C-alpha cells in the first residue's frame, strides 16, 4: 500500500551518480493549455488539471463539499434554481431552492420547508435580483414558464405581483438598473420597465428590436459599472439571444436626451437560457462560442472572434468553444462568481453518465482548471459561502476551508477524500534529440498534513492516468498543552513534504502525471526528475 510521502529532510547522497541528471519541473501555474503544441508548450502549463485551484505560487487542492438539505422536493428532483434574499438584518437572510412548481426555504440545515407553490409554473427556472426602495428590501423573482412575477421580503413573505402592461407571464429575466426594474419576456424584443423605485404598477415597453442585427429576441439585461473618463457610471448592457450586445448610457428611458445608445457589438452564438453572463468586479462577462467575453474589452476593441484575441480563454478555447456549441441548446450553462476562492466558474451542463466538467478561472493567476467531482446543477453565493443544487434533490455547501471531503452527509459521515490530478506538457528534459531513462521523481508539497501521491511518467505523447488512487488517512488534531513534545503531531502549521518515488519509461520526451490526495489547500509546488541521459538511439 502506498504510504503518504514524508516531510522533506535533506540527505547526503550515498552513491556516485555521475551518469544521472536531476532536473527541476515547476508546478503548472499557467493552468490548462489546449492552444499550444503539447511538445512545445511552456513548462508551467498543463494538459490535465482536475480539482486544483491554480494559485500564483502553486496548485492548491480545492476544498470539498457537504450536504446541507436533502430530498428537497424528492430524492429524484432537479434543483434548477437557488434564490437568495439579503435582508437589512442578516439574521433574516434566506436561501430558497426551486423545484418544479414549488419553492422551498432551505436556509436552516437539514430543514427544507415549502415556501411557495406556483401551479402555473412548470419548471423551477427562476431568475432574480435584489431591489431596495423606501418600503424595504425585496427579492424579485420571475419565471419563464407562466410562473409570473413574485417578490419576497421579511414582512410580507411571498407576494405575487401583476403589473399592467406586461405582454405575458413568461418572464425570462429581471434586473434593477438606475433604480428601475427591467424585465424581458419569452420571444419578445422589448424590455419593460416600471417607475423609479416601484415593484408594481404600470410597465412601459422599450423596443430593442431594431438594434438586434442578428435577429432573435432579448435574453436579458445587466449593469456595467464603467469609468469612461468622466466619472463612474452604470451603463445598461442588453443581450440578444443571437449574441448581439447593446450598450446604453443614461438614466431615463422616456427621454432620448438622457438615454442614449453607445454602440452595438456581436460576441458570437450564445447558449440557451439566461445565466451565461455575470457581473465580475465592476465588469460584465458573457459566455459565447468564442469564450468568455468581458464587455470592457469588447467595446474597446480588444476582443476578436478570430486569432484568439481573447486573453481570458485563449488557452482553453479550442476545447471550450466546441463544448459550448455542442451544448448550445442546454439551459444549464451558468457563470458564477465564487469570491472566497477568488474564482469565476463556468458551470457546464452535466454530461452523460452524470460526469461534471466545470471550468474554473482563478482571477489572481489568470489560469484555468476543471472541477470534476462536484455534482453542481446550479449554484449561488449566500452569506459568503458557495451553495449548489443537484439533480437528485440535494442542496449542498462547498469550497470553504472547513470542507475536508467530498460529499459529507447530513448525518456527518465523511465523504470521499479530496483528490486532484495533473499532467503537464511533454518536456525534453535537456535535449529533445536524445533518449533518456526516467528513474525517479521527487514531488514537493506544502500542506498542513502529508498528502499521498501516485506518480508516473507518460511517454510518447500518452495521457494514461495512474492505476488506482493513492491512499490517504486524514490526520488527527493535537490537543494543546496535553500532547507530548516531539511525539504528538501538531496541526494547523504548513510543512514541506517531499519524497523520492520510482519512475519507469524511456523516451525523448516525457510528461509527469500525478494523482494527489490530501487536505484542502494542499499545495503542489514543484518536482525534481532524476533521468539517465542516453544517445540518439
pLDDT(3) > 60: no
Query: 303: Cβ–Cβ under 8 A, 6 or more apart, which residues?
Result: 267, 290, 293, 294, 297, 309, 310
Q: What percent of the chain clears pLDDT 90, i.e. is strictly above it?
A: 75
Dihedral sign from CA coordinates of 294, 298, 304, 305: positive
d(CA 533, CA 20): 7
Higher pLDDT, 296 or 489: 296
Residue 451: which CATH number? 2.60.120
> 160 and 78 in one domain?
yes
Domain membership of residue 8 (yes or no) is no
Residue 236: which CATH number? 2.130.10.10
Domain membership of residue 272 (yes or no) is yes
> 132 and 239 in one domain?
yes
> 229 and 132 in one domain?
yes
> 425 and 393 in one domain?
no
Domain membership of residue 439 (yes or no) is yes
Domain boundary among 399, 417, 435: 417
> 206 and 81 in one domain?
yes
Indicate the SS3 state at residue 278.
strand
Structural domain harbouring 217: 65-417
Q: What would the pLDDT profile of 252-272 be if each residue is shown by its tens digit?
A: 998 989 999 999 999 999 999
- The DSSP bridge partners found for residue 431 are none
Asked which of 14-18, 137-141, 214-218 is least confident by mean pLDDT, the reply is 14-18
What is the predicted pLDDT for the residue at 151? 98
The three state secondary structure string of 500-511 is CEECCCEECCEE
Domain membership of residue 430 (yes or no) is yes
Asked whether the beta carbons of 193 and 233 are under 8 A apart, the reply is no
Whats the size of the chain, residue-wise? 537
DSSP one-letter code for 276: S
pTM: 0.90
d(CA 216, CA 240): 7
Higher pLDDT, 12 or 320: 320
> 95 and 51 in one domain?
no
pLDDT(13) > 50: no
Q: Which residues of 111-141 are buried (b: 16+ CB within 10 A; e: fewer)?
A: ebeebbebeebebbbbbbbebeeeeebbbbb
Domain membership of residue 5 (yes or no) is no
d(CA 338, CA 387): 10
Confidence of residue 83 (pLDDT cuts 50, 70, 90): very high
What is the predicted pLDDT for the residue at 230? 58
Task: Please give the grid coordinates belonging to residue 25.
Answer: 519541473
Domain membership of residue 14 (yes or no) is no
Domain membership of residue 408 (yes or no) is yes
> 452 and 309 in one domain?
no
Domain boundary among 379, 397, 417: 417
Beta strand 367-371 with 358-362 is antiparallel
Confidence of residue 308 (pLDDT cuts 50, 70, 90): very low
Q: Alpha carbon of 221 to those of 69, 189, 270, 337, 486: distances in Å?
A: 32, 12, 14, 18, 61
| Cell 434593477 belongs to residue | 176
Domain membership of residue 277 (yes or no) is yes
pLDDT(491) > 50: no
Average pLDDT, the chain: 89
> 79 and 31 in one domain?
no
d(CA 65, CA 376): 11
> 479 and 359 in one domain?
no
The pLDDT of 92-102, averaged and rounded, is 97
Domain boundary among 390, 417, 444: 417
Q: What would the pLDDT profile of 20-47 be if each residue is shown by its tens digit?
A: 889 899 999 999 999 999 888 998 999 9
> 441 and 374 in one domain?
no
Q: Which residues of 192-225 are buried (b: 16+ CB within 10 A; e: fewer)?
A: bbbeeebbeeebebeebeebbeeebbbbbbbbbe
Class of residue 10 by CB neighbours under 10 A (exposed 0-12, middle 13-18, buried 19+): exposed
| Cell 451553495 belongs to residue | 387
pLDDT(8) > 50: no
d(CA 183, CA 206): 10
Task: Please give the grid coordinates belonging to residue 82.
Answer: 437557488
Element (H, E) at 325: helix 317-326
Overall number of domains in the chain: 2
> 149 and 120 in one domain?
yes
> 270 and 388 in one domain?
yes
Amino acid at each position: 500500500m502506498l504510504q503518504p510521502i514524508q516531510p522533506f529532510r535533506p540527505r547526503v547522497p550515498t552513491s556516485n551518480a555521475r551518469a544521472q541528471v536531476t532536473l527541476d519541473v515547476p508546478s503548472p501555474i499557467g493552468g490548462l493549455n489546449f492552444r499550444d503544441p503539447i511538445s512545445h508548450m511552456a513548462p508551467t502549463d498543463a494538459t490535465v488539471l482536475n480539482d486544483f485551484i491554480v494559485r500564483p505560487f502553486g496548485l492548491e487542492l480545492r476544498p470539498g463539499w457537504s450536504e446541507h438539505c436533502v430530498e428537497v422536493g424528492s430524492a429524484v428532483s432537479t434543483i434548477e434554481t437557488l434564490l437568495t434574499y439579503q435582508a437589512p438584518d442578516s439574521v433574516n437572510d434566506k436561501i430558497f431552492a426551486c423545484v418544479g412548481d414549488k419553492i422551498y426555504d432551505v436556509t436552516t440545515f437539514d430543514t427544507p420547508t415549502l415556501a411557495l407553490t406556483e401551479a402555473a409554473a412548470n419548471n423551477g427556472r427562476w431568475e432574480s435580483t435584489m431591489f431596495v426602495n423606501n418600503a424595504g428590501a425585496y427579492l424579485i423573482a420571475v419565471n419563464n414558464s407562466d410562473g409570473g412575477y413574485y417578490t419576497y421580503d421579511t414582512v410580507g413573505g411571498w407576494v405575487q405581483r401583476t403589473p399592467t402592461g406586461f405582454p405575458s407571464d413568461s418572464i425570462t429575466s429581471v434586473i434593477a438598473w438606475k433604480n428601475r426594474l427591467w424585465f424581458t419576456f419569452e420571444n419578445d424584443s422589448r424590455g419593460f420597465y416600471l417607475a423609479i423605485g416601484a415593484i408594481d404598477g404600470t410597465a412601459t415597453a422599450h423596443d430593442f428590436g431594431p438594434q438586434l442585427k442578428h435577429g432573435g429576441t432579448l435574453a436579458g439585461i445587466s449593469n456595467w459599472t464603467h469609468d469612461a473618463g468622466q466619472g463612474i457610471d452604470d451603463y445598461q448592457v442588453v443581450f440578444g439571444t443571437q449574441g448581439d450586445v447593446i450598450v446604453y448610457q443614461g438614466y431615463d428611458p422616456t427621454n432620448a436626451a438622457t438615454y442614449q445608445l453607445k454602440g452595438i457589438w456581436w460576441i458570437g452564438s450564445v447558449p440557451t437560457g439566461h445565466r451565461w453572463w455575470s457581473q465580475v468586479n465592476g465588469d460584465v462577462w458573457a459566455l459565447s462560442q468564442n469564450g468568455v467575453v468581458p464587455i470592457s474589452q469588447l467595446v474597446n476593441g480588444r476582443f476578436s472572434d478570430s486569432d484568439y484575441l481573447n486573453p481570458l480563454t485563449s488557452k482553453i478555447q479550442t476545447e471550450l468553444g466546441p463544448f459550448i456549441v455542442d451544448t448550445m441548446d442546454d439551459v444549464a450553462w451558468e457563470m458564477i462568481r465564487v469570491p472566497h476562492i477568488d474564482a469565476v466558474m463556468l458551470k457546464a451542463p452535466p454530461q452523460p453518465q452524470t460526469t461534471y466538467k466545470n471550468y474554473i478561472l482563478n482571477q489572481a493567476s489568470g489560469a484555468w482548471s476543471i472541477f470534476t467531482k462536484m455534482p453542481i446543477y446550479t449554484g449561488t453565493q449566500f452569506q459568503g459561502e458557495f451553495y449548489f443544487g443537484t439533480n437528485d434533490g440535494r442542496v449542498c455547501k462547498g469550497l470553504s476551508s472547513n470542507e475536508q471531503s467530498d460529499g459529507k452527509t447530513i448525518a456527518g459521515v465523511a465523504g470521499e477524500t479530496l483528490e486532484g490530478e495533473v499532467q503537464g506538457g511533454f518536456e525534453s528534459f535537456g535535449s529533445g534529440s536524445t533518449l533518456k531513462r526516467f528513474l525517479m521523481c521527487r514531488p514537493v508539497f506544502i500542506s498542513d498534513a502529508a498528502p499521498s501521491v501516485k506518480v508516473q511518467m507518460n511517454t510518447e505523447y500518452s495521457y494514461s492516468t495512474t492505476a488506482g488512487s493513492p491512499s490517504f488517512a486524514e490526520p488527527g488534531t493535537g490537543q494543546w498543552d496535553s500532547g507530548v513534545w516531539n511525539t504528538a503531531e501538531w496541526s494547523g502549521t504548513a510543512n514541506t513534504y517531499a519524497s523520492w518515488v520510482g519512475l519507469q519509461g524511456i523516451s525523448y520526451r516525457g510528461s509527469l502525471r500525478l494523482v494527489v490526495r490530501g487536505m484542502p489547500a494542499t499545495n503542489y509546488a514543484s518536482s525534481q526528475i532524476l533521468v539517465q541521459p542516453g544517445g540518439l538511439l
